[in-house]
Structure 1
Amino acid sequence: MSIDPPSVRSAEPSPPPMRDESENLSDLKIVDLPVIVLFWVLAFVVFLQFFTRYVLNDSLGWTEEIARYLLIGVTFIGAVSAVRRESHIAVELLYTRVSRRTRFGLQIFVDVVSLAFYGILAWLSVHLSQRTLQKMTSIDVPKSLIYWVVAGCFAAMTIYQLLVLVRHLRTRTSRLIDPDSVTSTGPSL
């Protein structure tokens, strides 16, 4: 009895599909531009701080504080992009163990909790901004400016999360509900 080579090949499990390791940047939009610019400004300020401290042995006093505030800006403005792209981290273990209907319910629950969280933090950030009267130590700029940026970012996250919730309710799918579906991946906001 001979074994046909083509049938042997077809019985072997196929290797998992190779994931393209290059990052897809096709979904970048104009709202993502501020975080990219702020990141490069932060990189320049940190390099300037390093250069003046270790090469010139005479550190600029304002670079450390400004770098700290730029990092806060990159974090929160980047979070707006992450909400828009639905790319925040998620624990998928529970989603893989339950039915699709339960996954949909969990997704809507997470969307509503996220929406409330962003909205409450936007409101709290506005109140904090209004009460902060201090100035930055190294430059004469009010610290409330930083809190206003954070409040604006939380407001934008609230709006994008509302759009995400509406999309999930309308399409009844997401990357966590249907992880194998091509249509459930990728941003459309």
Structure 2
Amino acid sequence: MHLPPESGHAPEAMPPLDEVDEPVKVTLKIEDWLTVIVMGALALFTFANVLVRYFTSQSFAWTEEFSVFLMIVLALVGSSAAIARDRHIRIEYFSGNGSMARRKKLAQLGAAMVAILFGLIAVLSVRLVWDDYRFNETSPGIGIPQWWYSIWLPILSLGMALRAVGLFIRRGRRA
């Protein structure tokens, strides 16, 4: 709610334009909530392990294995959010200078390369999951099926590829 200046109240500050998410078809809250959930689980598992170690001088083996898995998931989900928000790494000297047509083409090229990369990772990691399943690979720490962990790589990679395709389309529409 914005009040007129004569009301004696200062107007609310608007966030800078570069901090406002541009409209997307699939809500960015997916990545935001996944980040919150994964960070919460990571904190709970780690805290539980600290308490058990402190009081019993033993460790939960499963917490270390799950923590590594959750950190990988967190990196992939964070990457998806960065792609969707167009915050992925680039050399600003090249991407921010030049004509608007050049900058638009570079933005589309970057999005296309990200989409191709994560599309390839998604396709190739399906083979990894299949091998883990077919050969009954188990995790080193607690012996659960390895594919329970590896199944998330193609799924999250496909999500990142789709986010990059969406970014490519949005950059193509930009004037």
Q: Distance in 2 between matches of 1:40 and 1:91?
A: 33
Count of aligned residue pairs for this structure pair: 153
The answer for the alignment partner of 2:59 in structure 1 is: 59
Match of 2:7 in 1: none
Moved more, 49-58 or 104-113: 49-58
Structure 1 unaligned regions, length at least 5: 1-18, 173-189
CA shift for structure 1 position 63: 1.5
Q: With the length of structure 1 as denominator, give the TM-score of the two structures.
A: 0.70
Distance 2:109 2:96 in 1: 16
Change (3 A) 1:53 1:41: same
Structure 2 SS opposite 1:53: helix
Letter in 1 for 2:162: I
- The structure where helix makes up a greater share of residues is 2
Distance 1:169 1:120, change over 3 A: same
Greater CA drift, 149-158 or 100-109: 100-109
Unaligned runs of 5+ in 2: 1-14, 22-26
Q: Does 1:155 align with 2:158?
A: yes
Q: CA deviation at 1:144?
A: 1.4
| Matches of 1:85 and 1:109, distance apart in 2 | 16
Structure 1 vs Structure 2 CA RMSD: 2.6
TM norm structure 2: 0.75
How is 1:60-99 mapped onto 2 (pairs within 5 angstroms)?
A: 60-99=60-99
- Aligned residue for 2:4? none
Residue 144 (structure 1) aligns with: 147
In structure 2, C-alpha distance between the alignment counterparts of 1:79 and 1:141, rounded to whole Å: 27
For the residue of structure 1 that corresponds to 2:151, the secondary structure is helix
- Identify the residue that residue 104 of structure 2 maps to in structure 1: 104
**Which digits, 9 at most, give the CA deviation of each residue in 1:7-66, with x for residues without a partner?**
xxxxxxxxxxxx87xx879x8524532221111101111122222224432222222111
Please tell me whether the aligned partners of residues 28 and 84 of structure 2 are also in contact (alpha carbons under 8 angstroms): no
Larger radius of gyration, structure 1 or 2?
1
Q: Which residue of 1 aligns with 2:29?
A: 29
Identity rate, percent: 25
Tell me by how many angstroms 1:168 deviates. 0.9
